Structure 1
């Protein structure tokens, strides 16, 4: 469940936020907070945290109660500068995410929202982009917001409207649960956090036996320990969920003096020593597969990522290994190889594989290993 699909729905979420109600959740116990260190480290030490990633991280830190101003202030400034650069080019989802991040906790950042007329811009964008909202988990959150407003009498309605909303939520929850894997993940590693938020707020739409929340939480913690969440935005979204929070918690009554509070953030100390028998450079076997397979051996420094390998291969042969890449809030992604472009309409994309197995990590964050077989394959989904 990519972030590009979530952003427009965040717009609806913002306009329907109301005081939260109790819902069924599971969260990390205080004695297991140490298992969140990798997430916090990724969020706070990445030099590539920019744009909406900064807003994701800022919102997450505030939702879980972290008030360390040496972390908060730089992120806040990055978000404001991003607004200044992008201006009217921001989508409704980007504006909503930024407004949520700056508006949480009733800080001086709220002034920026009003001085720059972000709410007015957001409302205008929503009218143009509302039809693009098709992501199940975020739709459940948005519809739940609307439903609560109707039940509390904040919006006039009749029973027919409530039934319609309930039917939509029921259908979406069924779809979410159908994506549940045997290990508890819902969809994939990175979509699970948002799916959990949706299930937190819709527990009256499924039986307790249909979802083992604790199993999902345990699997996510295992994924964290294995280094799965190396992108700041991904780490930020799952941290919010693991602390039992959802986007519905951002309202006028939300207290930021809770949750992790002044939790000790792990500092990033660069490793200046080279482990024994650890080579400075490593060699990998790299292939491009379309209708034919094109292969080469590439040498890169230890600690390199998949993208580094592709760049070295391109230097050797631009025709065979040439590619294009674009940046997103989730990091870089491959758009074409040998001039062949991925196309959503044709459901085609460039799949990354290691030793024949598909990778869940991105081209900019998967760290390659010595003697590994790497492949970029033209695929359909």
Structure 2
């Protein structure tokens, strides 16, 4: 066993935090439900946002009738956009893929009742374009946030991911002269952790797992290095996704991370209207529920309950 792994396991034994400890107090449930209500309402204004639906699915309380309605609208929008040739960016394709998987649907076979589309194939094609841009220009076609979101979605779909893309990401993370989190945003670093964590879990080769473990640890340390005294990581809007990255790796988190401090800070901002958009809410709710985007692959839709209080339904 390498020194690195020994140190990691020592942290686990001495200081590890389980994700079960990362959950808001139930007496604040009404505040979280108010954010869910905002997401439900957002679906009534044009095409639903796949990030909003994904977040609703990762919550522990549901309005099943409205979620089914949004799921249908989402399928109709995806098929229409694809048939009409609208540009599906890498990140948007990944979000649609994750959203449908969160509803226990196969993203490779999405239907509006008339036509069918294969989002997994489309996402693979998008990643090939990103790879070509990396090879030619040393930069992704879009950006590293969308690239790592695509890696995460494909990993959850058990699709192979280009070694070239993974190697490029690892090299950038491990560049000590230009730390990843200083070159890119906290959100990008957090999404990179989630993508690499999915790959790490899917590998059986211990040497390959160790190679991915190193950049995960590096990014987690950089995230913790960006924590502020006010209970944020980066800023209030990036804190939710950063917390997801940290709780996705309980065996690799360190003494400096006390989840409850960050959740209390996030909760305190809800009555102020700080999280006033789908994008801002979508990063926060999974963290408050002690979940991450990685949990999409283990959701059991048959166990859902229609338990969102009536006043919080859209």
TM-score by length of 1: 0.56
Q: Which has the higher contact order (CA 8 A, sep 6+)?
A: 2
Task: Report how many aligned residue pairs link the two structures.
Answer: 239
Is the counterpart of residue 196 in structure 1 residue 264 in structure 2?
no
- Aligned-pair distance for 1:80? 2.4
CA distance in 1, matches of 2:108, 2:306: 21
Asked whether the equivalents of residues 100 and 107 of structure 2 are also in contact (C-alpha less than 8 Å), the reply is yes
Find 1:241's aligned residue among 278, 281, 287. 287
Would the aligned equivalents of 1:65 and 1:261 in 2 still touch at CA under 8 Å?
no
Q: Give me the whole-angstrom Cα distance separating, in 1, the residues matched to 2:104 and 2:288.
A: 23
- Per-residue CA distance 1:335-374 (angstroms, 9 max, x = gap): xxxxxxxxxxxxxxxxxxxxxxxxxxxxxxxxxxxxxxxx
Q: Secondary structure at the match of 1:181?
A: coil
- 2:118 and 2:210 mapped to 1: Cα distance? 35
* 1:174 correspondence with 2:221: yes
- SS of structure 1 residue aligned to 2:104: coil
Match of residue 40, structure 1, among 33, 36, 42 = 36
Specify the alignment match of 1:90 in structure 2: 88
- The corresponding residue for 2:193 is 140
Q: Which residue of 2 aligns with 1:149?
A: 202
The equivalences for 1:262-273 within 5 A come to 262-267=307-312
Bigger share in helix: 2
The answer to whether the 8 A contact 2:194-2:248 is kept is: yes
CA, structure 1 residues 81+257, in 2 after alignment: closer, same or farther (shift >3 Å)? closer
Distance between the aligned counterparts of 1:24 and 1:184, measured in 2?
20
For the residues of structure 2 that align with 1:25 and 1:125, how far apart are their CA atoms?
37
Q: CA deviation at 1:103?
A: 2.1
User: How far apart, CA to CA, are the structure 1 residues paired with 2:232 and 2:53?
Assistant: 26
Pairing of 1:115-126 with structure 2 (within 5 A):
115-126=116-127
| Stretches of 4+ aligned residues off by more than 6 angstroms | none
Quick one: distance in 2 between partners of 1:174 and 1:37?
32
Does residue 62 of structure 1 match 2:115? Answer: no
- 1:1-381 correspondence runs (5 A): 23=19, 25-46=21-42, 49-51=45-47, 54-87=49-82, 89-106=87-104, 111-112=109-110, 115-129=116-130, 131=140, 132-133=143-144, 135-150=188-203, 153=204, 157=205, 159=207, 161-208=208-255, 210-251=256-297, 253-256=298-301, 261-267=306-312
* 2:178 equivalent in structure 1: none
Deviation at 1:32, TM superposition (A): 2.5
Question: Which residue of structure 2 lines up, in the alignment, with residue 350 of structure 1?
Answer: none
**Residues 257 and 39 (structure 1 numbering): CA distance in 2 closer, same or farther, change over 3 Å?**
farther
Partner of 2:163: none
More strand by share: 1
Q: Which of these two proteins has the greater Rg computed from alpha carbons?
A: 1
Unaligned runs of 5+ in 1: 1-21, 270-381
Distance in 2, matches of 1:95 and 1:39, equals 24
Note the C-alpha offset of 1:49: 5.0
Do the aligned partners of 2:34 and 2:312 also contact (CA within 8 Å) in 1? no
CA drift of 1:182 comes to 0.6
Structure 2 residue runs without a partner (length 5+): 1-17, 132-139, 146-187
Distance in 1, Cα, partners of 2:296 & 2:193: 16
CA deviations on 1:258-278 (whole Å, 9 max, x unpaired) are 687512153589xxxxxxxxx
Structure 2: distance between partners of 1:206 and 1:106: 30
Please give the secondary structure, in 2, of the residue aligned with 1:190.
helix
